[in-house]
Structure 1
Amino acid sequence: MTKIRVAVIGCGSIAKHRHLIEYNNNPHVEIVAVCDINEARVKETAEKYHAKAYTSYEALLESENIDAVSVCLPNYLHATVSIAALNAGAHVLCEKPMATSREEAEQMIEAAERNNKKLMIGHNQRFVSSHQKARKLIEQGEVGKIYSFRTSFGHGGPEGWSADGADSWFFKKDQAFIGAMGDLGVHKADLLRYLLGEEFVEVGAFVETNAKENIDVDDNATLILKTTSGIVGTLAASWAYTAKEDNSTILYGENATLRLEDDPEYSLIVQYNNGEVVKYELDGIQSNEDGGQTTSHTIDHFVESILHDTNPLIDGEEGKKSLQVILGALESVETKRIISLEK
C-alpha cells in the first residue's frame, strides 16, 4: 500500500499537539518533511518523526514529492503558503481562520479547483461527538424549531499554549490579523452553521482588548447573530476565562433545550419540555489541556478524503462562509452598525 506523503509547514503547538501526532498515528500516512523558520524547533521535530527539516517552505515544496500539506502557520501566511502548496500539486489542510480576507479565501479556493486538489480547513468542532449527535437530533426533528442559541469558547489565552508563550504571533496584529475572535470565535461560527444547517445573514459585535496588556488584537469578543430563518443568538470568544476553559453551546428549541459541552460529566444533555432529561456520555471534546490524549478526527478525515477522493466536510467554501461571519463582526465594530452577510 502506498502511503500519503505528508509535509507539515509550521512546527508550533497546533502541529505538535494535533497534526504531527495524528498523522503519525494514521497507518496511511508517512511524514516526509517538516518546516519552520525556527531552526532548533524544526530539527527537533524532524528527528522525532524521522522527517527532513526545512526552514523554507519554498525549498520544501520544490525539493520534495509531497501528496499533502498541513499549513500550521500564523494567520497572515495561510493563503500564501496554501496556494503555493496547491500549485505544487499537494492537497492542503489549512488551520483556521483560513485567511485574513474574503479575497484571499477565494484565491485559495480557486487554486484548489485549478489544480484539482483538496482544500480543507481545520474546523475540528464539527467532529466532536456531542456536536455530531446534536446535529442528528436537530435533523430528525427531535428539537423542533430552534429559536435561539448561545455559544462560548474561551480560555486563559495563547500564552499558556503557544510555542512562543507571551511572545506568540497570536498577539501581533500584523501576523494574527485578529485575536480571540479569529482564534476561537471562527470555530464557533463554523460549528453553529453546521448545527443549525443555516447561514448567518446578519452580525453585530462588540470587541475589546481589556484583559491583556501590550497586545494589539482583541481578547474579548461578543457577537449577536441572526440566521436565514430568524434564529438569533450570541457567540462569545475570549482569552480572559482564566480559571477554566469554556467550550459550551446551548440551543433553545421548540421541544427541547440541548446543552453541549456544558456539564463536566455529560457532553450532551437534552432537556425536553415535558420535564424528561436525557444525558449522553460521549467522547470528550478535545482541549488544549489534554496533552494530545484525544484525537480531533480532523487529520483522519482529511486523509480519508484523499484516499477515497471525496469532498472534505469543511472545504474552502465552508471555511470562507465561517470566515465571513468574523469579517462581518470586524466591520460591525468599525462602523458601529449591524452588518448584512448576504453579499
Structure 2
Amino acid sequence: MKVSIIGAGTMGMMYAHNIAKIKGVQPAGVCDVDRERAERAAQLCQTSAYTSLEDLLAQEQPDVVCVCLPTHLHKDIVMTLAAKGIHIICEKPIALNLEDAREMQAACDQHGVRLFIGHVVRFFPNYRDAAQKVKDGVIGEAGVAHLKRFGSFPQGSDGWYHDRAKSGGVIMDLMIHDIDYARAIFGEVESVYAAISRSDQMEYAQVTLKFKNKRIATLSGYWGYPGPFTTEFEIAGEKGIIRFNSNETLSLNVKVQSKDQDLGERVQVPRSPMMYDPYYYELAHFIQCIREGTTPIVSAEDACKAVAIALAAEQSAELGKPVNMEVFS
C-alpha cells in the first residue's frame, strides 16, 4: 500500500517517523510548501520530497494520503483527495465547524473512500487501559471523570495557532483529545458548560460535560503552561478510582475498595515497554481497517461529534450558560 504525507511540520514528521515501519506500507512522497521541511521528512522515511500536491499525486499515485496540515486547510485537501478516490488519514480536529466536517464525511462516503481522523489519545496505553477497566467494571459503575491537558502555547510555522479562525483555540485543538476520550467512555453528551480565560500568551478552558446517562466529566485545557507537557485523568466509580498523571508515573494506578482494609487495595497496571509509539499504532490500525474493510476504533462520525461538543463549549463560554447539544445535532 502506497502512503503519502502532506504537511511536514511536527505531526508530519511524526508520521514520517512511523510510516515506513508498518508492514506492507511503501512511503510514497512527502509534500510541503517549504522544500527544506519536505526533504527532511522525506529523508526520514526514505521517499521523495514535493512542494506541489498535484505533482506528488501524479508521480506517486498513492493509495492513502496522511493530511498533517493546519486545521483550516483540512477541508479543501480532503475534498480533493476524496474526489480522486484516495483514502485519507487526517489529523484532528477534522474541521473547524460542523458543516465542513459533515461535507468532508459525505464526500468520502460518496466517492467510496475511507476517512480516518487522528484522535490518537485512544491509542495511548494508559488511556486505553483505563477505558477497558471502566468497561470491565473494575471500579464499579463509573460516573465521574476529570481530565486535564496542559502544554506550552504551540508555535505553528506562521503563527496559525494564535489565530482562532485557523486553529479554533485551546478547546478545538487541544482539549478535543479529552472530549473524544470522555465521550468514548461515557457515551453521548446532553449539555455543555464552559468558561475560557485567554490573553496573548495563554488560553485556559474549563468545560463540564453532562452525558445523557447522567455521568459528568470536567475537562481542563491550558495553552501557555510554564511546566512540562502534562496530562492527567481521574475516573471514579462506586467501587474505586482510576488515576493517571503523566509527570508522576508510567503506570496506571487503580485503587479499588476492599472489604478488609479501609484504605483499599492498590493495584498497579504497569505500562509495558513499547516497541512503537501510539502514533505508530494509530497509523497501523487505520491501514489495517483499509485493508480489511473493518470499523476503526475512532470513526469520522466520532470526530464530527467531538467538533460539535467543542463548538458547544465555545458557545457556552460566550453566553455564560449551559448549551444543550440538541442545537448541534
* Count of aligned pairs: 321
Cα pair 1:61 1:88 within 8 Å, conserved: no
Cross-structure match for 1:215:
none
Cα pair 1:8 1:15 within 8 Å, conserved: yes
2:321 to 309, 328, 337: 337
Cross-structure match for 2:21:
25
Residue pairs, 1:1-343, within 5 angstroms = 4-16=1-13, 18-159=14-155, 162=156, 164=157, 167-176=158-167, 178-196=168-186, 198-210=187-199, 212=201, 219-261=203-245, 264-274=248-258, 275-283=264-272, 294-296=277-279, 297-342=281-326, 343=329
Deviation by residue 1:244-288 (Cα, 9 ceiling, x = unmatched) = 222111011111111134562343111122311111111489xxx
Cα pair 2:12 2:41 within 8 Å, conserved: no
Cα pair 1:118 1:315 within 8 Å, conserved: no
Report runs of 4+ in structure 1 exceeding 4 Å deviation.
none
Q: Measured at CA, do residues 284 and 202 of structure 1 come closer, stay the same or move farther in structure 2, by a change above 3 Å?
A: farther
**The residue matched to 1:184 in structure 2 has which SS?**
helix
Instruction: Give the Cα separation in 2 of the matches to 1:322 and 1:44.
Output: 33
Instruction: Give the Cα separation in 1 of the matches to 2:48 and 2:149.
Output: 36
Deviation by residue 1:293-317 (Cα, 9 ceiling, x = unmatched) = 7342111111111122212221210
Structure 1 residue ranges without an equivalent (≥5): 213-217, 286-291
Instruction: Give the Cα separation in 2 of the matches to 1:252 and 1:112.
Output: 38
Task: Name the amino acid aligned to 1:180.
Answer: V
Instruction: Give the Cα separation in 2 of the matches to 1:250 and 1:307.
Output: 36
Instruction: Give the Cα separation in 1 of the matches to 2:16 and 2:196.
Output: 33
Cα pair 1:148 1:253 within 8 Å, conserved: yes
TM-score, structure 1 normalization: 0.87
Deviation by residue 1:54-101 (Cα, 9 ceiling, x = unmatched) = 223244335531100111001101121112112111111110111011
Q: Measured at CA, do residues 281 and 314 of structure 1 come closer, stay the same or move farther in structure 2, by a change above 3 Å?
A: same
Task: Name the amino acid aligned to 1:103.
Answer: E
Q: Measured at CA, do residues 181 and 119 of structure 1 come closer, stay the same or move farther in structure 2, by a change above 3 Å?
A: same
Instruction: Give the Cα separation in 1 of the matches to 2:89 and 2:199.
Output: 33
Instruction: Give the Cα separation in 2 of the matches to 1:85 and 1:122.
Output: 17
Task: Name the amino acid aligned to 1:98.
Answer: I
Instruction: Give the Cα separation in 2 of the matches to 1:251 and 1:91.
Output: 36
CA RMSD in angstroms comes to 2.1
Quote the offset at 1:324 in angstroms: 1.0
Task: Name the amino acid aligned to 1:115.
Answer: H
Deviation by residue 1:123-150 (Cα, 9 ceiling, x = unmatched) = 0111112222222222222222222111
Quote the offset at 1:187 in angstroms: 0.4
TM-score, structure 2 normalization: 0.91
Cα pair 1:148 1:252 within 8 Å, conserved: yes
Task: Name the amino acid aligned to 2:79.
Answer: I
